[in-house]
Amino acid sequence: MKFPEKGLDKAKILDELKANQKRNWSFGSGRIFGSMCAMPLEVSIRAYTLFIESNLGNPGLYPATAEMEKKVVGMVGDLLHGKKVYGKVLSGGTEANISALWMYRNMARRKEVILPLHAHFSFKKACDLLGLKPVFVKVGGDYTVDIADMKRKISDNTLCAVAVAGSTELGVVDPVPEIGEICAERNLPLHVDAAFGGFVIPFLKACGRKIPDFDFLVKGVTSITVDPHKMGQSVMPSGILLTRENYWKYIEFSAPYLTSEIQSTLLGTRASGAVAGTYAAIKYLGFSGYLEIVRRCMAMTEFTCGIAKHHGIEPVVEPVMNILALRVKNARKVVKALHARQFFVSYGELTDSLRIVLMPYAGKKQIRELFEEGIVPLVQKS
Ligand SMILES: Cc1ncc(COP(=O)(O)O)c(C=O)c1O
């Protein structure tokens, strides 16, 4: 496409964009069953646009946004049992995970990262970028980390360990207290990836579900990723990295032309809308609002699991959170065929399963359609 010679009329541009937007799938379409992203709350969208022009990369110009970021970090830190935590609002789980490993690499200059097999692929990106070596740890029968294998894999060259609280594929939670003990004994940092689970587990626990501690309650946990743009119901792109101590100083760079003079984030210019959107979501929902959302998502997950079982399709594990992986023959092919029928579920590679994420926008009618018009006929054929 050629770069336009002259500018166009605003209305024409917007008409074109509206037409383009119609060709995209929306969460409201009832067809998206595999995304972990939130349909942001209206209050978050409004907050985002309100702060559209402020850049947190240059915080001296935007003191109100910088203060709001501190409050967001404080509130999420409080939710995750951190007394005094350090943190920043980043662009998502990938940036948060990369930043955690970056800090640890600069602290210790060792090479090996103890990585559960079910860890998100952003850790592979992080290792590649930072010149680190992933040392994969097996998962056990319940698909969480095999502690004995983890112990065997720790060496003098271990930089840090990663645990997952809400795995991408199954939503399972690693035994963080046991991993924390191992790491504390050996003086190793432990990063917990709770990108999805961070805004789910505290509320599941409040409902009385038995889930291991995963946050700063565990002594050995040194940092946590948690994404507002997933179950935090906030706008994209927003992720948070929290650290127990000020490890941010290990990734500080001089930024003499900016008001802050130093910067300790991977991105330079940072969207303040993400901070405002997240602040608004947390203030609007509060603990009780998130609790209600998580309750509804879990009820929908159980409803979906029930339908699957009714059709003779078993879950890989009984769902821990609102992620359901189903044992389906030729799962990859079935997932592709579902896409062709405009049902957007996803494929779970580790367990060769069909994966459904029950986000707040999932409705019973759409789930019934997914099974009756999509999954069941295809599974019967395959
Ligand atoms: C557990 C986990 N960590 C990290 C990520 C990466 O997050 P993002 O896509 O926001 O970079 C994901 C994404 O689904 C995830 O499930």
Where are the domains positioned within the chain?
Answer: 25-39+296-381, 43-283
**Whether this model's pTM surpasses 0.85:** yes
Which atom of ligand 1 is nearest to 93's Cα?
7
Residue 177: C-alpha distances to residues 60, 242, 345 (Å): 40, 18, 33
Q: Is 195's C-beta closer than 6 angstroms to any atom of ligand 1? A: yes
Tell me the residue type at 247. Y
- Distance from the CA of 229 to the center of ligand 1, in angstroms? 10
Running along the chain, 382 residues long, what does each successive block of 10 average in pLDDT? 96 97 94 96 98 92 95 98 97 98 96 98 98 98 97 98 98 98 98 98 97 98 98 97 98 92 94 95 98 98 98 98 97 97 97 98 96 95 77
- Distance from the CA of 53 to the center of ligand 1, in angstroms? 26
- Distance from the CA of 95 to the center of ligand 1, in angstroms? 9
Beta-bridged to residue 162, according to DSSP, are: 191
- Distance from the CA of 2 to the center of ligand 1, in angstroms? 35
Q: Is 199's C-beta closer than 6 angstroms to any atom of ligand 1? A: no
Report residue 102 CA to chain centroid gap: 18
For ligand 1, atom 8, which residue shows the shortest CA distance? 93
Choosing among 2.60.40.420, 3.40.640.10, 3.50.50.60, 3.40.10.10, the CATH entry for 43-283 is: 3.40.640.10
Q: Is 238's C-beta closer than 6 angstroms to any atom of ligand 1? A: no
Residues 6+ apart with CB under 8 A from 15: none
Residue 162: C-alpha distances to residues 104, 139, 185, 376 (Å): 12, 13, 15, 37
Q: Is 93's C-beta closer than 6 angstroms to any atom of ligand 1? A: yes
Which atom of ligand 1 is nearest to 236's Cα?
10
Q: Is 51's C-beta closer than 6 angstroms to any atom of ligand 1? A: no
- Distance from the CA of 94 to the center of ligand 1, in angstroms? 6
User: Which class in CATH covers the domain with range 25-39+296-381?
Assistant: alpha beta
Which residue in the block uniquely carries the two structure tokens 């992933």?
A: 134
Q: Is 193's C-beta closer than 6 angstroms to any atom of ligand 1? A: yes
- Cβ–Cβ under 8 Å, residues 73 and 85: yes
Which atom of ligand 1 is nearest to 168's Cα?
16
- Distance from the CA of 374 to the center of ligand 1, in angstroms? 27
Q: What is the pLDDT of residue 217?
A: 98
Q: What is the pLDDT of residue 288?
A: 98
- Distance from the CA of 288 to the center of ligand 1, in angstroms? 25
In the chain, the largest separation of any two C-alpha atoms, in whole Å, equals 66
- Distance from the CA of 71 to the center of ligand 1, in angstroms? 23
Q: What is the pLDDT of residue 381?
A: 80
Q: What is the pLDDT of residue 260?
A: 85
Q: Is 94's C-beta closer than 6 angstroms to any atom of ligand 1? A: yes
Q: Is 228's C-beta closer than 6 angstroms to any atom of ligand 1? A: no
Q: For ligand 1, pick from 35, 94, 101, 174 the residue to mutate: most ligand atoms within 8 Å of CB.
A: 94
Cis, peptide link before residue 377, omega less than 30° from 0 = no
**267: alpha, beta or left? (left if phi > 0; alpha if psi -120 to 50):** beta
- Distance from the CA of 97 to the center of ligand 1, in angstroms? 9
- Distance from the CA of 323 to the center of ligand 1, in angstroms? 14
- Distance from the CA of 210 to the center of ligand 1, in angstroms? 24
Which atom of ligand 1 is nearest to 119's Cα?
1
Q: What is the pLDDT of residue 74?
A: 98
